[in-house]
Amino acid sequence: MIAAGLLLFSLFSSLALGQPTAHDVFHVHEKRSDVPNGFKYVGKAAPNATLDLRIALVQSDPAGLEAALYDVSTPGNKNYRKHLTKAQADAFIAPKPESVQAVTTWLAKNNVTAQTSATGEWMKIRIPVSQANALLDTQFNEYSHDETGLTVLRTMSYSVPASVKGHLDFIYPATAFVAPRPVPAELQIMQSRETSTHGISKRARGNRKSRTTLNAIPAMTTSKPAQATGPVSPDDSCKTKITPACLQAIYNIPPDSALNTSSNIFVASFVGESADPADLKKFLGEFRPDVSQGTTFRVKAVDGGTNNASKATIEASLDVQYTVGVAAGVDTTFVSVGSNNTDGIAGFLDVINDLISQEEPPFVLTTSFGFNEKDVPVGLANNLCNAYAKLGARGTTIIFGSGDGGVAGIQNQNCTTFVPTFPSSCPFVTSVGGTNSFGPEVAVSFSAGGFSNVFARPKYQDDVVPAYLKTLGSTNKGLFNASGRGFPDIAAQAKSFQVVRGGQTISVSGTSAAGPTVAGVVALLNDAVFQDGGQPLGFLNPLLYSSAASALNDITQSNNPGCGTDGFPTSEGWDPVTGLGTPDFAKLLDVVKKSS
């Protein structure tokens, strides 16, 4: 009896201290074989160091979400543009009750308290390393990141008890070695080529206003709409310096300001990027004198982000000035994502989850930052991609610049196989490559593009990608995944954009110039649709790859070199350099109205 009593005391004590009991049967859940390039082992993590971990629960019906997304996004379907409500979209992602119960019970047995997201698919825990080591039967270590000098706490593998297998998807960032910051194209374009850069307020029924809380910056105001003058030929100066007037001429964009107050654009930014309203005022005075210089933008903070106007950066200045400059009259919100997260991609999770939680999400979300796909854990990439699908099913068009390393990914680096970028490789976003010049437009050599190693080819590419691969023949054989999702989807001008920063006009290049340009086009299309009482365009790709393909300017010159190769060549139809081509606003508007 004494021995049995001691055994019971020992078991209860171990539970109270958060230690695994003799009855726990652990199974390895995630494991990696080596530390990735750019990180270096420092030593075992201090037992009292604090870990912020995110637990992703298995989602109940991601396949159903995908089907619903295509149902509301494919022209000809009876539910086309009948977007889901928040409750309808949440139902596909929310974990099953038994999964919530299993994970909650496991944590409670180990004296761990979790914060749970509104729909329950994410739990956040903050615990010391000693408790995390016991909870996950592992050893967390300290690693330094060569480029930034920052240190991270990670493990090479972790295990979970059998009771949560099948309920717990993954724990982040346990084995995830993602760079501590996302990469804007401005950094690598400036480093490798020239002085340049790279890439929800209201939902839409009538004139409903956003319920999102915004910082106290005056609401956007614009002049009265200008009178449309018909197509204008671009000036020769547009071959060396791009302005809003150049984009209007090249892409047949009307100079009129938006008429419906519902249309909006959200611009997501990271790593301390900031934009100055005074710079926007000077930009408009110089390049859009028809628009009131009192026009400004809203600011929304995520993860403690701030907009420090006195320290305006190139990327944020570019994004704000060209969303406002192309889509005059459209409400623009600058989303500043702070560093209050575990690494660069955690901010991507937080901003998308913040927007998903809104009753009225944005109509257009554009982002000019990204990662090399290989650096993002597959579970996390899938989870983020599903979040983009969820937002798209609710009526948001999600746009990402494809990157500026050609087939070498985000950064033009040494590589032995082609490097796809993420989130551009997610099939539920619209990826934008880069072009320059006109008459004809040609691809810019830095336009990132290729094929995903994570996501399979989506059905909307079933015709165009095999056709391209047939023309490609044996070129680049073995260097890419021919069955993967191809990107980009479309393209736009990406060189020599005139941007005002700190009161000075500079020339900026990269696909992060192309992204805001396309975002502006979509926002103006939404404005025209809203005037007719219609619904937002939402997820664009099924439309682009069907009836809208004829409304795009096919780009058939140049290629995107990298990894010691010439990369992919452009071709007639879709190609992994410029996608289906560049927009013609007038033609797209005609297609959009006919497809409603």
Residues assigned a catalytic role: 315, 319, 512
Identify whether the C-beta of residue 432 lies closer than 8 Å to the C-beta of residue 541.
no
Q: Three-class SS of residue 184?
A: strand
Pairing type for strands 298-302 and 331-337 reads parallel
Strands (E), 162-263: 168-172, 183-184
| 554 marked ligand binding residue | yes
C-alpha 77/C-alpha 68 separation (Å) is: 11
Query: Is 264 within 8 Å of 202 (Cβ atoms)?
Result: yes
Pull the structure tokens for residue 531: 């005037």
At 525, list the tokens: 């299309």
Query: Are residues 436 and 493 in contact, defined by beta-carbon separation less than 8 angstroms?
Result: yes
Nearest-angstrom CA–CA distance, 591 and 596: 9
Q: How far apart are CA 294 and CA 502, in angstroms?
A: 18
Distance, CA of 351 to CA of 344 (rounded, Å): 12
How far apart are alpha carbons 173 and 413 in whole angstroms? 25
Q: 573: annotated binding-site residue? A: yes
Strand partners, 52: 126
Three-class SS of residue 239? helix
CA angle in degrees (0–180, nearest 5) for 217-364-284: 50
Q: Do 526 and 363 contact (CB within 8 A), yes or no?
A: yes
CA distance 313 to 276: 9
Rounded to whole angstroms, the Cα distance separating 66 from 72 reads 10
Contacts of 285 (CB under 8 A, 6+ apart): 293
Continuous H helices in 288-362: 314-326, 346-356
Distance CA 583, CA 122 (A): 38
CA distance 386 to 392: 10
DSSP track, 95-127: PPHHHHHHHHHHHHHTT---EE-TTSSEEEEEE
Could you give the residue ranges of the DSSP H alpha helices within 403-557? 464-472, 511-531, 541-544
The annotation status of 575 as a binding-site residue, yes or no, is yes
Q: In this structure, are residues 284 and 333 in contact, taking their beta carbons and an 8 Å threshold?
A: no
Report d(CA 263, CA 528) in Å as an integer.
9
Residue 167, CA atoms < 13 Å, CB-side half-sphere = 18
Closest Cα to residue 256, out of 248, 264, 247?
A: 248
β-pair partners for 168: 57
Binding residue numbers for Ca(2+): 554-555, 573, 575
Binding residue numbers: 554-555, 573, 575
